[in-house]
Amino acid sequence: MRTTILVATLLMTGSPLLQGAESTAAQIEHAAGLFLDDFASQQADRGFEVSHKTGPLDSRLALAACNTPLAVSFSGDPWKTTQPTLEVSCSGERPWRMFLGASVTITGDGMVAARALTRGERITGGMIKAESVTVNATRRGVITDPEQLIGMEMRRGINAGTMMTPNLLTAPAAVARGDHVIITARRGSFAVNSRGKAMADAAVGDQVLIENLSSSRTVKARVTAPGQVEIPM
């Protein structure tokens, strides 16, 4: 995710030398704060609560005061870390760019295992439930939509209460070894169908070896749906 906002320039009084350093620090802090407030507001509309604070500015900061609004963005994905970095830049007469640490906690409903799950189990609605979790506490990404889980298979066993993350899941086989399948040979809008037998298990999108039952030839095909594969003509 990459979100950017522009923040109005702050002016401060004082000696020219101090004014430049102080106004630059004030600009950065103000811009970063408004950016994080805006991000929190956007996520609140989606049902997530965001708490945040910016890290301290380097005391050696020596950047020119910016005469244009500052641009602020996340330099990484804030949904996969609670310690994202902000990129702050000035495109004015004396352009510059700097990075500022931040602490961001996103809280909301995430899907967790309602009971212990074993390797190979196919997930149904009763096996999962929503709980309030820190959504960005893991780089793997917490799953918040139950529809992304239903029908998937467990890659390994987990305990009850474990957060559901993509690395725990695998797509179920749409074709199993020995299954009879429909082979579609396609070129543009023209297609020819024949029957074949799968030589291995495969999920939708996977490549699998298929024995053509008419010619006894073995071809490599892509699984397009349960019981259906496709090869280019």
Same domain, yes or no, for 49 and 98? yes
**CA atoms of 224 and 175, how far apart (whole Å):** 10
Of 77, 106, 135, the one marking the end of a domain is 106
Looking at residue 23, its pLDDT comes to: 60
- Tell me, yes or no, whether 175 lies in a domain: no
Q: Quick check: 5 pLDDT over 60?
A: no
Structural domain harbouring 210:
180-232
Q: In the listed set 106, 141, 160, which residue is the last one of a domain according to the structure?
A: 106
pLDDT of residue 70: 92
pLDDT digits (tens, 9 = 90+) for 73-88: 999 899 999 999 999 9
**How does residue 121 score in pLDDT terms, banded at 50, 70 and 90?**
very high
Number of domains in the chain: 3
Please name every residue paired with 106 in a beta bridge, in sequence order, or none if there are none: 50
Same domain, 46 and 66: yes
Do 112 and 101 share a structural domain? no
Give yes or no: residues 117 and 102 share one domain: no
This prediction has a pTM of 0.65
Per-residue pLDDT at 119 exceeds 70: yes
Which residue carries 């704060």 as its tokens?
A: 33
